[in-house]
Amino acid sequence: MSEQNVEFPSGAGTAHGYLELPPAGSGPGLVVIQEWWGLTTHIADLTRRFAAEGFVALAPDLYGGATTHDGAEAMRLMQELPVDRAARDLAGAVDHLLARPEVTSSTVGVVGFCMGGSFVLTLAAQQGERVSAAVPFYGLPDVEATDYSGLRAAVQGHYATRDRITREAVEATAAKIREQSGVQADVRFYEADHAFVNDERPSYDEASAKAAWSAAVAFLKEHVR
């Protein structure tokens, strides 16, 4: 089962997620988007770490409680996830954070990993000025199909050199973001494998994870107001 401790409206329905408040009790809002494994202990741990850095951090549960550590099962869960429902849940998470009294910012940041990394960029494009910082980790939406003309967020991307997501695809996405929105994405590559931040996976790379984490936290603190 996934980590869940909060529910919030999603369209006409209800979504669930994992929410952590910072030590001060209030701070800027941050949406944390899961990998294809679901809202796992790793994503909950990252959410707590972002909260410890001062953010009101919310990780929506896009799979409705399901988690897995099996690659084939994760692929099935991701493929069966209705894109429109995921979009509603993520938009609902933005609404929920901006409505919470503990959230001091008038915008939110969005950070995501693997599958969640691709959702980061599409959510930022859909939400416009409500998302001020978008930080994808080793995830990329369809290069041709995604429209970035609505994106207003600052973008910092973290990608691995040894990954099915190629440098060419990442750079093509950055070029499209610049062309359609005017935003110059800060894209960083690490000599590591896909999912190098996930310390529950064999692909974890401590040096790359620490460098990317420090850069992402500083970037979010700078831009989420």
- Residue 224 to residues 77, 111, 170, 195, 208, Cα–Cα distance (Å): 31, 12, 24, 25, 24
What's residue 83's pLDDT? 87
What is the average pLDDT across 38-55? 97
pLDDT digits (tens, 9 = 90+) for 192-206: 999 999 999 999 999
What's residue 2's pLDDT? 73
Asked if the model's pLDDT at residue 1 lies above 70, the reply is no
Close Cβ partners of 50 (under 8 Å, ≥ 6 residues apart): 20, 30, 32, 57, 111, 217, 220
What is the average pLDDT across 66-88? 95
Asked if the model's pLDDT at residue 210 lies above 90, the reply is yes
Smallest CA-to-CA distance from 63 within 93, 96, 95, 85 is with: 85
Asked if the model's pLDDT at residue 47 lies above 80, the reply is yes
What's residue 23's pLDDT? 98
What average pLDDT is seen over the chain? 97
CB 19 within 8 A of CB 48: no
| Cα–Cα distance for residue pair 124/128, rounded to 1 Å | 6
What's residue 4's pLDDT? 87
What is the average pLDDT across 136-164? 97
pTM of the model: 0.98
Positive or negative, the Cα torsion across 2, 124, 51, 193?
Answer: positive
Asked if the model's pLDDT at residue 183 lies above 90, the reply is yes
pLDDT digits (tens, 9 = 90+) for 95-130: 999 999 999 999 999 999 999 999 999 999 999 999
DSSP 86-154: HHHHHHHHHHHHHHSTTEEEEEEEEEEETHHHHHHHHHHHHHGGGEEEEEEES----TTT---TT--SE
